[in-house]
Amino acid sequence: MKQTKNIIDQAKQEGRKALLETEAKIICSEYGIPVTRFNLAKSETEAAEQAEKIGYPIVLKIVSPDIIHKTDAGGVLVNLKNATEVANGYKKIIENIKKHKADAKIVGILVQEMAPQGTEVIVGAIKDPQFGQTIMFGLGGIFVEMLKDVNFRVAPLTPDDAKEMITKLKAFPLLNGYRNTPPSDIDALINIICSTSRLVMDVPEIKELDLNPIMAYNKGAKTVDARIILE
């Protein structure tokens, strides 16, 4: 996995522990994890040009090694509908970041396809000092934060392990279809979990990985935010 190796090597050389969202998403793509289409822009004009190529609505996000939680820094704008909104959004994010952390290094702004709302799920990995790479799966939002309804398994995982992690959640009925919500694509989620397992087994330098949220759809799934922290 050539791009993955290059990205990890470069981060090490620069003494960076947190990978940029762009880097994390390139790595995810190389391992077959679906992510939202994106392009890095370095100016308002570039952002508007790229938005035209990707198609509306658009999400803009700050790319900075000094900003880990982008929303908290005013670094995320969603649902931008035309080139003017994108160009203004670009300016707005730069302004917000300067207010939040005047000396933050700004790599650029990510112009990103806006994923339609799906059922939000989370895949994580954490390197446990005793058990090694451990994978986590849960539903997003309150299910993780308040109800702690998540399952862990030590990697490497088989598709059957991954399936169990999904179906044994208390909230599983939400993925299985209810009222007006069609069932989520469980095979797509199994693939993401297994690919994550493969990735962290291949790259032992990964200390933490967070795909949060992933939108699960009736057909397929898409990772909206990816974070990777190295040892």
Q: Which parts of this chain interact with Mg ion (CB under 5 A)?
A: 212, 225
CB-facing half-sphere around the CA of 68: CA atoms within 13 A: 9
For the chain, helix (H) and strand (E) counts, in that order, are: 8, 10
Residue 204 CB, shortest distance to ligand ADP, in Å, is: 25
Residue 60 CB, shortest distance to Mg ion, in Å, is: 14
What is the residue type of 167?
Answer: T
Tell me which of Mg ion, ligand ADP, none is bound by residue 78, counting a contact when its beta carbon lies within the kind-specific cut-off of 5 to 8 angstroms: ligand ADP
In the bound state with ligand ADP, the residue whose beta carbon lies nearer, of 58 and 155, is 58
Under 8 Å between Cβ of 83 and 91: no
Residue 81 CB, shortest distance to Mg ion, in Å, is: 22
In the bound state with Mg ion, the residue whose beta carbon lies nearer, of 48 and 93, is 93
Helices marked H in the chain — which ranges? 2-13, 21-30, 44-54, 83-100, 142-145, 159-167, 172-175, 186-202
Tell me which of ligand ADP, Mg ion, none is bound by residue 115, counting a contact when its beta carbon lies within the kind-specific cut-off of 5 to 8 angstroms: ligand ADP
What six digits make up the tokens of 37? 């289409």
Residues that bind ligand ADP (CB under 6 A): 36, 59, 61, 69-71, 76, 78, 112-115, 213, 224-225
Residue 70 CB, shortest distance to Mg ion, in Å, is: 7
Tell me which of Mg ion, ligand ADP, none is bound by residue 228, counting a contact when its beta carbon lies within the kind-specific cut-off of 5 to 8 angstroms: none
DSSP secondary structure code for residue 16 in this structure: -
